[in-house]
């Protein structure tokens, strides 16, 4: 265990694991309703704390006040939008709540140290940023693990990935229809080329709209897809990979558990990268599948790599995905 791990474990012991989990759950609530005009009082009340006590605890765990951290989360969401799709800076600025591209660029530069375009160029590299290796500072007992989901996960470098996607709902019949459209447009020629993706809070019921995208993945750039399919891309990144073996309709429950329960109980937060599910192949005659579920996580307080930290260890030895 490195001195970084000793410090992280000491922090947890000093504050108590429950406090870390409380702040992790509070951040999930913010992400579920990120565009809401949150006040400190509303967030504290939702977590069952008096405002001064909650503000002090949040600063102890995260390193800055709740509402300042909320602004950082909104910028991080905008950064993810820049990476995933082609779009004007103005469009993404408006989605982030800014009135002009100039105001957004100034705020983005203050948060990241570079402009939005420079951020994209820096992110698309041959290797993933080692500072983004998923943190695994401490562990907690977790009950109610869905059948077929294997714990603990493994930290892997995945990507770059490209894809053709089709938006759908979480209803099984809608997913089946969307997958049929995707597979007809670009039939797979190997394993791990078909699956789905959604923002982490898309798997969890909340006030935000829940959208699932069926995907045909590729490790090579793809031409522009025909309508109604849309292009998608992901730079090489560090993710946590969970193995799942079971009925295909159990994947949604497994993803829901990872986002709402497992990440929170570990005292971490989901990042804004989508949660990705990849199937090794089509379901068997009995509807069984082998899937890999990839989640992007951050240490509490880590936005844009703002905390100086060494590369933390992972739960098991790292492996490259196929």
Percent of residues, the chain, with pLDDT higher than 70: 84
pLDDT above 60 (res 188): yes
Mean pLDDT of all residues in 125-150: 75
Determine the pLDDT at residue 5. Answer: 41
Q: Is the pLDDT of residue 240 over 70?
A: yes
Beta bridge partners, 269, equal: 298
- Cα 270-276-279 angle, rounded to 5 deg: 150
Q: pLDDT at position 229, please?
A: 97
Question: Going by C-beta distance under 8 Å and a sequence separation of 6 or more, which residues neighbour residue 93?
Answer: 78, 100, 101, 103, 104, 105
Q: What is the CA radius of gyration of the chain?
A: 19
DSSP structure string for 5-52? HHHHHHHHHHH-HHHHHHHHHHHHHHHHTTTS---HHHHHHHTT--HH
pLDDT band at 205 (very low <50, low <70, confident <90, very high): confident
* DSSP H or E stretch at residue 247: strand 237-247
Give residue limits of the domains in the chain.
3-123, 132-299
Each residue's pLDDT tens digit, 139-170: 667 889 999 999 999 999 999 999 999 999 99
**pLDDT at residue number 110:** 87
What pLDDT score was predicted for residue 10?
45
Asked whether residue 115 carries a pLDDT value surpassing 50, the answer given is yes
Q: Looking at residue 1, what is its pLDDT?
A: 37
pLDDT at 235 over 90: no
Confidence of residue 311 (pLDDT cuts 50, 70, 90): very low
Q: List, for residues 52-68, the tens digit of each pLDDT value.
A: 999 999 999 999 999 99
Q: Which residue has the higher pLDDT, 126 or 197?
A: 197
Residue 137, classed as helix, strand or coil, is coil
Class in CATH terms, 3-123: mainly alpha
Most confident of 3-12, 69-78, 252-261: 252-261
Average pLDDT, the chain: 84
132-299 in CATH: which number?
3.20.80.10
How far apart (Å, rounded) are the C-alpha atoms in residues 204 and 31? 11
pLDDT at 9: 44
Q: Is the pLDDT of residue 4 over 80?
A: no
Residue 128 pLDDT: 60
Q: Is the pLDDT of residue 35 over 90?
A: no
The stretch 167-174 carries a mean pLDDT of 92
């Amino acid at each position: 265990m490195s001195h970084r791990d000793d410090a992280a474990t000491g922090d947890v012991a000093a504050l108590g694991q429950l406090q870390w989990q409380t702040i992790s759950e509070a951040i999930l609530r913010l992400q579920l309703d990120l565009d809401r005009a949150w006040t400190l009082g509303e967030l504290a009340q939702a977590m069952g704390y008096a405002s001064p006590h909650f503000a002090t605890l949040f600063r102890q765990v995260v390193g800055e006040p709740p509402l300042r951290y909320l602004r950082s989360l909104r910028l991080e969401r905008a950064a993810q939008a820049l990476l995933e799709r082609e779009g004007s800076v103005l469009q993404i600025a408006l989605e982030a709540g800014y009135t002009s591209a100039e105001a957004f660029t100034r705020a983005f530069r203050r948060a990241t140290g570079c402009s939005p375009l420079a951020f994209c160029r820096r992110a698309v590299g041959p290797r993933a940023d080692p500072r983004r290796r998923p943190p695994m500072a401490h562990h907690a007992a977790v009950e109610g693990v869905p059948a077929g989901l294997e714990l603990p996960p493994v930290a892997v470098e995945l990507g770059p990935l490209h894809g053709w996607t089709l938006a759908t709902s979480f209803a099984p019949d809608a997913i089946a229809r969307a997958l049929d459209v995707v597979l007809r447009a670009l039939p797979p020629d190997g394993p791990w080329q078909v699956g789905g993706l959604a923002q982490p809070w898309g798997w969890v019921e909340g006030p935000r709209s829940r959208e699932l995208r069926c995907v045909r993945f590729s490790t090579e750039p793809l031409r522009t897809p025909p309508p109604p399919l849309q292009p998608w891309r992901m730079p090489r990144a560090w993710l946590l990979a969970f193995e799942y073996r079971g009925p295909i309709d159990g994947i949604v429950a497994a993803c829901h558990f990872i986002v709402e329960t497992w990440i929170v109980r570990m005292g971490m937060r989901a990042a804004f990268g989508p949660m990705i599910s990849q199937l090794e192949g089509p379901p068997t005659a009995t509807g069984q599948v082998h899937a890999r579920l990839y989640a992007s996580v951050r240490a509490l307080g880590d936005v844009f790599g703002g905390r100086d930290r060494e590369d933390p260890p992972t739960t098991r030895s790292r492996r490259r995905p196929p």
